[in-house]
């Protein structure tokens, strides 16, 4: 690119960065979705075809938001370059396109369920300052037709002072753009949440404590994931681009719909109720065979059934549509929330208040059901209803309305493609069959017979179980090991491979490894 065109492209990019940055920073004082980047990203997530969304979740797991954001940045930069280059000859047209894009973003902000009309203010403030930046920079970038370069007719190349003015202005725009992006919240989505408000909540002492995890629950093989998953390593699935910031004092839960009496409780009231602690393994329906979208935590909460009892659901009701502050919904059979499995309105995870990413200040945890039909984070409403009346977020995108967790097993040791020393080979991993319990786990080497493994102690039917097995004297060279679980109902995990959609992937986990020569 010749100097002029390059300067104009830079002008376009800087104007765009200033626009989005200033809007992002201003949005700090409004709802999160008031930031045009957040509104755009959320809209992209919403309109993405389920197959692509499913692919993104199973391929990138919890990093899928980062991939989306990088895609948006690349797309945005390309558009910015085009606007900048157009401004070189036709500043009016470029300014018009810039304004139209800004207005379109404002419309997306307005369309978000979490925004009010005032939330467009940041976008217009950003747009005004970005547009000013575009005009000022383009005027000083010159026509770029450097006479001595190509002899073409045109305006003269910018003078040295004009260039200096351009550089000065560009520098200022860079500083404004970078500083405001750093102050805004979109960038923090890429990393951990920076600048999130520090909120404190003191957890009550449990009325019912979970038994301590016995030593025998672990098989003691290096490389097997710990029985309790630390919150920082716990997988995360959010449809929202930005983790909602919900203060305990702002939180209320409403029980609505087919009930005899609508009920609303706030956090002070909830924390006064008797709390129960339970170890529960949560699993995502999008987890590929052998994948990592599963984890176990000690959850602290009040039984949901007690809260529903207060509202007295009508006999015709068979479903609870739980709603998050971010608009996400899940359909849970009423029975799963009222029977004695111990579904929780949870406020604590592993002895701490829920981390923001995992639903602070309150979420649902239902043993035996995949997260998308049960584990609503930042839950603010339980609408008692019927499966033939209401549908949930993922049901509208082609997934099943009801989804019990299927028995599954995973090999964690050895690593895929690892080279292990000659002789005996230790394989180990985890298996789960919530609400039913794991009865047996079997492995086989290459195409050999299924062999029963040694199972670690069971903590509860709702938690995963570690297992280990030793194959004696394995011949050097490449081998494969396959695992399957058998649950207490006698169901043997099927070998048939299916996609996660509509109700979880099936198939055996199989890895290959190499045994070194003696
Ligand atoms: N508000 C909200 N709650 C949600 C989701 C979501 O996207 N938004 N994802 C669900 C899904 S698909 C799963 S698997 C679990 C994951 O919980 P975690 O992110 O705490 O691991 O939360 C569920 N609750
Ligand atoms: Mo999920």
Tell whether domain 215-397 is in CATH 3.40.640.10: no
> What residue's CA is closest to ligand 1, atom 24?
376
Sequence-separated (6 or more) residues with CB below 8 Å from residue 440? 452, 455, 485, 486
* Nearest C-alpha neighbor of 407 from the set 268, 287, 272, 260: 287
Answer yes or no: are the C-beta atoms of 94 and 11 closer than 8 Å.
Answer: no
Closest ligand 1 atom to Cα of 379: 1
C-beta of 326 in contact with ligand 1 (< 6 A):
yes
Nearest-angstrom CA–CA distance, 414 and 426: 7
Cα of 374 vs centre of ligand 1, distance in Å, is 9
* Residue position matching structure tokens 């005004």: 128
Decide: 353 in ligand 1 pocket, CB within 6 A.
Answer: no
Q: Domain 408-515 is of which CATH architecture? A: Sandwich (2.60)
Residues 314-341, mean pLDDT to the nearest whole number: 96
Task: Give percent of the chain with pLDDT exceeding 70.
Answer: 93
The Cα–Cα gap between 504 and 179 comes to 44
For ligand 1, atom 10: residue with the closest CA? 372
Alpha-carbon distances of 485 from 328, 431, 444, rounded to whole Å:
33, 7, 12
CA of 253 to the centre of ligand 1 (A): 18
CA 441 to chain centre: 31
234 close to ligand 1 (CB < 6 Angstrom): yes
pTM of the model: 0.79
Q: Of 58, 62, 114, 238, which is best to mutate to test ligand 1, by the most ligand atoms within 8 angstroms of its C-beta?
A: 238
Among the ranges given (41-45, 396-400, 512-516), the one the predictor scored with the smallest mean pLDDT? 41-45
Alpha carbon nearest to ligand 1 atom 5, residue: 238
- Residues 188-200: b if buried by 16+ CB within 10 A, e if exposed: bbeeeeeeeeeee
Q: Is the CB of 381 under 6 A from ligand 1?
A: no
235 lines ligand 1 (CB under 6 A): yes
Q: Say how far apart CA 76 and CA 455 lie, in whole Å.
A: 52
- The residue among 195 and 112 whose pLDDT is bigger is 112
Query: Which pLDDT belongs to residue 5?
Result: 87
Please give the full DSSP string across 334-364, using - where no structure is assigned: HHHHHSTT--EEEEEETTEEPPGGGTTT-EE
Beta carbon of 291 within 6 Å of any ligand 1 atom: no
Task: Name the segment(s) of the chain with CATH classification 2.60.40.650.
Answer: 408-515
How many A from CA of 370 to the centre of ligand 2? 6
| CATH 3.90.420.10 domain extents, the chain | 215-397
Question: Counting ligands in written order, which one lies closest to the CA of residue 285?
Answer: 2
Rg of the Cα atoms in the chain: 28
Work out whether the CA dihedral 51, 406, 240, 387 comes out positive or negative. positive
| Lowest mean pLDDT segment, chosen from 44-53, 361-370, 406-415 | 44-53
- Given the CA of residue 237, which atom of ligand 1 is nearest to it? 19
Ligand 1 pocket, residue 322 CB under 6 Å: no
**pLDDT tens across 73-106, in order?**
889 999 999 999 999 889 999 999 999 999 999 9
Predicted confidence at residue 154, as pLDDT, reads 46
Q: How far apart are CA 88 and CA 102, in angstroms?
A: 20
> What is the pLDDT averaged over residues 334-345?
98
376: pLDDT confidence band, cut at 50, 70 and 90? Answer: very high
Determine the Cα angle at 69 with ends 245 and 502, to 5°.
Answer: 80
The best mutation among 230, 355, 377 to test binding of ligand 1, ranked by most ligand atoms within 8 Å of the C-beta, falls on 377
CA nearest to 390, candidates 316, 321, 318:
321
From the CB of 356, is ligand 1 less than 6 Å away?
no
The closest ligand to the CA of 235 turns out to be 1
Q: Ligand 1, atom 21: nearest CA belongs to which residue?
A: 236
The reported pLDDT for the residue numbered 143 is: 57
> pLDDT per residue over 114-134, tens digit each?
788 999 999 999 999 999 999
Distance 114 CA to ligand 2 centre (A): 22
Is 244 near ligand 1, meaning CB less than 6 Å away?
A: no
Closest atom, ligand 1, to C-alpha of 372: 12
Say yes or no: CB of residue 358 within 6 Å of ligand 1. yes
Q: Is the CB of 471 under 6 A from ligand 1?
A: no
In sign, the C-alpha dihedral spanning 41, 42, 48, 51 is positive
The percentage of residues in the chain with a pLDDT greater than 90, rounded to a whole number, is 72
Which residue would you say has higher pLDDT here, 142 or 475?
Answer: 475
Q: What tens digit of pLDDT does each residue of 151-208 get?
A: 444 455 567 787 888 899 999 999 999 999 888 876 655 543 333 444 578 899 999 9
- Is 64 a pocket residue for ligand 1 (Cβ < 6 Å)? no
Please tell me the distance between residue 364's alpha carbon and the centre of ligand 1 in angstroms.
10
pLDDT at 158: 61
Residue nearest to atom 15 of ligand 1 (CA): 371
């Amino acid at each position: 690119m010749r100097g002029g065109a390059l300067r104009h492209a830079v002008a376009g990019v800087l104007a765009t960065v200033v626009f989005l940055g200033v809007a992002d920073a201003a949005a700090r004082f409004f709802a999160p979705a008031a930031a045009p980047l957040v509104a755009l990203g959320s809209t992209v997530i919403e309109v993405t075809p389920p197959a692509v969304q499913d692919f993104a979740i199973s391929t990138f797991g919890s990093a899928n938001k980062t991939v989306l954001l990088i895609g948006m940045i690349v797309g945005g930069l390309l558009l910015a370059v085009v606007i900048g280059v157009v401004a070189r000859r036709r500043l009016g047209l470029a300014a018009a396109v810039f304004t139209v894009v800004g207005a379109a973003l404002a419309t997306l902000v307005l369309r978000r369920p979490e925004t009010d009309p005032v939330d467009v203010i940041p976008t217009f403030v950003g747009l005004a300052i970005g547009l000013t930046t575009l005009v000022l920079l383009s005027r000083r970038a010159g026509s770029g037709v450097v006479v001595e370069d190509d002899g073409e007719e045109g305006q003269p190349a910018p003078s040295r002072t004009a260039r200096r003015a351009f550089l000065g202005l560009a520098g200022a725009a860079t500083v404004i753009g970078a500083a405001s992006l750093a102050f805004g919240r979109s960038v923090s989505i890429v990393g951990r949440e920076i600048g999130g408000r520090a909120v404190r909540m003191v957890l009550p002492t449990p009325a019912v404590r979970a038994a301590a995890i016995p030593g025998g629950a672990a098989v003691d093989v290096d490389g097997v994931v710990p029985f309790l998953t630390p919150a920082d390593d716990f997988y995360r699935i959010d449809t929202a681009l930005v983790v909602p910031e919900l203060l305990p004092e702002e939180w209320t839960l409403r029980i609505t719909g087919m009930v005899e009496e609508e009920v609303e409780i706030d956090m002070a009231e909830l924390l006064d109720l008797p709390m129960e602690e339970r170890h529960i393994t949560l699993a995502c329906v999008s987890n590929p065979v052998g994948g990592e979208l599963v984890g176990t935590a000690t959850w602290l909460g009040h039984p949901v059934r007690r809260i529903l009892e207060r509202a007295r659901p009508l006999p015709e009701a068979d479903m609870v549509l739980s709603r998050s502050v971010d608009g996400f919904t899940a359909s849970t059979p009423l029975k799963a929330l009222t029977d004695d499995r111990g579904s929780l309105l949870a406020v604590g995870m592993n002895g701490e208040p829920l981390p923001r990413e995992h639903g602070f200040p309150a979420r649902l945890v239902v043993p035996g059901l995949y997260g998308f039909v049960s584990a609503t984070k930042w839950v603010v409403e339980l609408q008692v209803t019927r499966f033939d009346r209401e549908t949930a977020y993922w049901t509208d995108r082609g997934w099943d309305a009801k989804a019990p967790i299927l028995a599954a097993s995973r090999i964690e040791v050895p690593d895929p493609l690892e080279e292990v020393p000659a002789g005996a080979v230790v394989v180990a991993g985890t298996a789960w069959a919530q609400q039913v319990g794991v009865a047996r786990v079997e492995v086989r080497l290459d195409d050999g017979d299924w062999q029963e493994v040694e199972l670690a102690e069971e903590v509860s039917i709702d938690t995963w179980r570690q297992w280990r097995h030793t194959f004696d004297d394995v011949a050097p060279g490449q081998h494969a090991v396959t695992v399957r679980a058998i649950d207490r109902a006698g169901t043997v995990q099927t070998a048939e491979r299916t996609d996660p959609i509509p109700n979880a992937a099936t198939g055996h986990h199989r890895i290959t490894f190499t045994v070194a020569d003696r």
